[in-house]
Structure 1
Amino acid sequence: MKIERYNFLKKNEILKIIENNEFLESEKEKILMERPSEIVRFYDENKNIISSMYLWNDVPDYKSKKTLYIGNIKTFQLQKNLNKIDILFKKLFEILKGEGFQIIIGPLNGTTWNRYRYVVEKGDREPFFMEPWNEDEEVKFIEYIGFSPFKYYFSSIMENTENRKTLKEKIEKIKKFPFYKKISIKNADTKNFEKLFSKIYDISIESFKNNFLYTKLEKNIFMKMYSKYKKKFLSNFFKLLYFEKRLIGFAFAFPDYLEIERAGKTETIIFKTGGVIPEFNGKGLGYILLDAIIDEVEKSKYNKLILALTFKSNVSKNMAEHVAKPFRKYALFIKEL
């Protein structure tokens, strides 16, 4: 049995390693998008791959401890190979500890812009569009190798858009402040993707920079990440928030395209992402954006709204509590070396 580590330092070296080590074509694009520091593979005595994972070591320290992220954890024939995989993970953890690492957080594919978290309480609803999904065995396995959940996230659903009395009361209070007279909301021009998302990128890096485990994403990767969805954006569900003529925030939502694939139709809109620049934090403008999205739900053929993947301790979770009930729980895991 052995551990093989493929280190990626520069783009040309990434391409060289990919070509020389039989990575699947589908994985090449993923590697170039997610930019892992290395990929680790475990081999059994017959040179068969029994596990693989990505590691990112160029990440901020967590609580002043040298940290790395782990993601894309795969195991092959787990029941058969569990003991061997466990031995090799213990060996890898010792190696990483010897290299000075103290904390591993995962699953987190390099940045919170990418896939991260495991579903830990699924409930009885099917997966929705753009929701990260995993098998229950993956949660059991990451706990088996010594990780513990330490941050929780939720998705909530609003099944009656008229049930927003508390939200409306909140907004009425916001409207009494003088600054509100200078606030306006417009629908985005979703047909001009490049121009729109160039602006959204600038707003996003400002809006999210204080979020838990946030790291800045390169603009070209951001644009490429969202370009695959550009035909799925609807102008009336993509709101731009202005203070006078200055763009200060945004929010967008999608129909549940995954449900459309399953059932041929959907009644559900997914509130995916929204942000307001820090200068305007604390003024309740996130509630204004949420209310604008709900207004569109009421005017449309849809009647349910999912508020996706809100962090237990931030403003988006507080917003969700005004209008929706949690139906799914996710966790991020940590291991001290």
Structure 2
Amino acid sequence: MKKQSFHIDGAKVTVYLDGPAWDGKPSATLGAFSCKTMQSGTSVLAQAISFVRDQGLNQIIGPMDGDTWHSYRFVTQTDGSPSFLLEPGNTPDALEVFKKAGFTEISGYFSARVPVVKTALTTPTATTDFTIEAWNGTHPEALFDQVFNLSTQAFARNAFFKPITRDDFMAMYMPMVPMLKPELIFFARQPDQTLAGFLFGTPNYAEGPKPTSAILKTYASLSKGAGQHLAHAFHKAAAAEGYETAIHALIHDDNLSAIRSASEGADIFRRYGLFGLKLNG
């Protein structure tokens, strides 16, 4: 990963020169951005933009730590409720610095919450195309190997997708294994036992050792309807485990899951944006 970091007193940013395509063209990304003042943030961002231009690129995406497998997005709206586990965060100044530099929102996302007793009652139509099973908690390397294979297929259709190596994927996710709760992780399997989809849920440990909310963090499927069945299994399990609230985390505004979240009566409490800048000349 080609990158260069810039620092000014009270501000920093990292430029990734091999970011994902935007509108079919190569882009740089700006990640790890922070600033203590608007002035320092503006200065360090100007350095980063100048560097990108000097490298012959004229599109920049941010904030993004190189790709969508890593941290990206700014919080753009919030009701002030506490951050949940693994949620991106930023100061209002950071967002304003990007906007003043000419960045505009190119993709929107949201997080919503809903009482699990409400969603657990909504049973999807039965199917023989796949079966839903919870992870038994064993062989995590084999688990993540399957998840990697399905993720690279399912997410390849997403905007700003960039492939990642299996080794890099494992390096990111294997350290999370001690935090995983098997009863909140589900798989959809076809009759021949091939993987049709997966869902990763986790307790919201940001609340402390005994959280009352569970996060529907990530799911992907290659079979129509698998996502709805996986989500139902998650909500039902969360209710059985005594969680009060489900957090539907970081959903793209145009995703089918956004429609499903709304239909389940989930209330949006945070919005996020990914921003872009096209340079002239």
TM-score (norm 1): 0.76
Give the match for residue 289 of structure 1: 230
Task: Measure the CA separation in 2 of the matches of 1:117 and 1:186.
Answer: 32
Task: Measure the CA separation in 1 of the matches of 2:174 and 2:110.
Answer: 26
Task: Measure the CA separation in 2 of the matches of 1:204 and 1:115.
Answer: 17
- Measured against aligned partners, the alpha-carbon deviations of 1:193-247 in whole angstroms (never above 9, x if no partner) come to 1121111111111111111111111111211211221011112111111110222
Q: Secondary structure at the match of 1:320?
A: helix
Task: Measure the CA separation in 1 of the matches of 2:116 and 2:227.
Answer: 20
Task: Measure the CA separation in 1 of the matches of 2:159 and 2:95.
Answer: 22
**Deviation for aligned residue 1:61:** 3.1
Pick from 61, 69, 80 the counterpart of residue 113 of structure 1.
69
Higher helix share: 1
Pick from 113, 116, 137 the counterpart of residue 157 of structure 1.
113
The residue correspondences of 1:93-172 to structure 2 (distance < 5 A) are 93-163=49-119, 167-168=122-123, 171-172=124-125
**Deviation for aligned residue 1:87:** 5.3
Task: Measure the CA separation in 2 of the matches of 1:139 and 1:132.
Answer: 13
Identical positions, percent = 23
Q: Residues 255 and 198 of structure 1: is their aligned pair in 2 closer, same or farther, counting only changes over 3 Å?
A: same
TM-score (norm 2): 0.90
- Measured against aligned partners, the alpha-carbon deviations of 1:145-182 in whole angstroms (never above 9, x if no partner) come to 221222110001012522577x54xx22xx3xxxx224
Letter in 1 for 2:103: F
Pick from 222, 235, 241 the counterpart of residue 188 of structure 2.
241
Aligned residues: 277
Q: Residues 63 and 188 of structure 1: is their aligned pair in 2 closer, same or farther, counting only changes over 3 Å?
A: same
Task: Measure the CA separation in 2 of the matches of 1:64 and 1:193.
Answer: 36
Segment drifting more, 188-197 vs 210-219: 188-197
Contact 1:190 1:230 in 2 (8 A): no
Give the match for residue 247 of structure 2: 306
The residue correspondences of 1:266-277 to structure 2 (distance < 5 A) are 266-277=211-222
Task: Measure the CA separation in 2 of the matches of 1:163 and 1:88.
Answer: 46
Give the match for residue 199 of structure 2: 251
Q: Residues 87 and 155 of structure 1: is their aligned pair in 2 closer, same or farther, counting only changes over 3 Å?
A: closer
Give the match for residue 335 of structure 1: 277
Segment drifting more, 156-165 vs 137-146: 156-165
Letter in 1 for 2:88: P
**Deviation for aligned residue 1:189:** 2.6
Q: Residues 302 and 107 of structure 1: is their aligned pair in 2 closer, same or farther, counting only changes over 3 Å?
A: same
Give the match for residue 18 of structure 2: 58
Task: Measure the CA separation in 2 of the matches of 1:107 and 1:226.
Answer: 21
Q: Secondary structure at the match of 2:179?
A: coil
Task: Measure the CA separation in 1 of the matches of 2:52 and 2:200.
Answer: 40
Contact 1:189 1:196 in 2 (8 A): no
Task: Measure the CA separation in 1 of the matches of 2:273 and 2:243.
Answer: 29
Q: Residues 89 and 224 of structure 1: is their aligned pair in 2 closer, same or farther, counting only changes over 3 Å?
A: closer
Q: Residues 54 and 191 of structure 1: is their aligned pair in 2 closer, same or farther, counting only changes over 3 Å?
A: same
Pick from 160, 171, 194 the counterpart of residue 224 of structure 1.
171
Letter in 2 for 1:78: T
Q: Secondary structure at the match of 1:181?
A: coil
Q: Residues 302 and 93 of structure 1: is their aligned pair in 2 closer, same or farther, counting only changes over 3 Å?
A: closer
Give the match for residue 40 of structure 1: 5
Q: Residues 72 and 157 of structure 1: is their aligned pair in 2 closer, same or farther, counting only changes over 3 Å?
A: same
Note the residue ranges of structure 2 that are not aligned, 5 or more in a row.
Answer: none
What is the aligned-residue RMSD (CA, Å)? 2.1
Give the match for residue 154 of structure 2: 207
Note the residue ranges of structure 1 that are not aligned, 5 or more in a row.
Answer: 1-34, 44-48
Q: Secondary structure at the match of 1:220?
A: helix
Q: Residues 65 and 200 of structure 1: is their aligned pair in 2 closer, same or farther, counting only changes over 3 Å?
A: closer
Q: Residues 147 and 182 of structure 1: is their aligned pair in 2 closer, same or farther, counting only changes over 3 Å?
A: closer
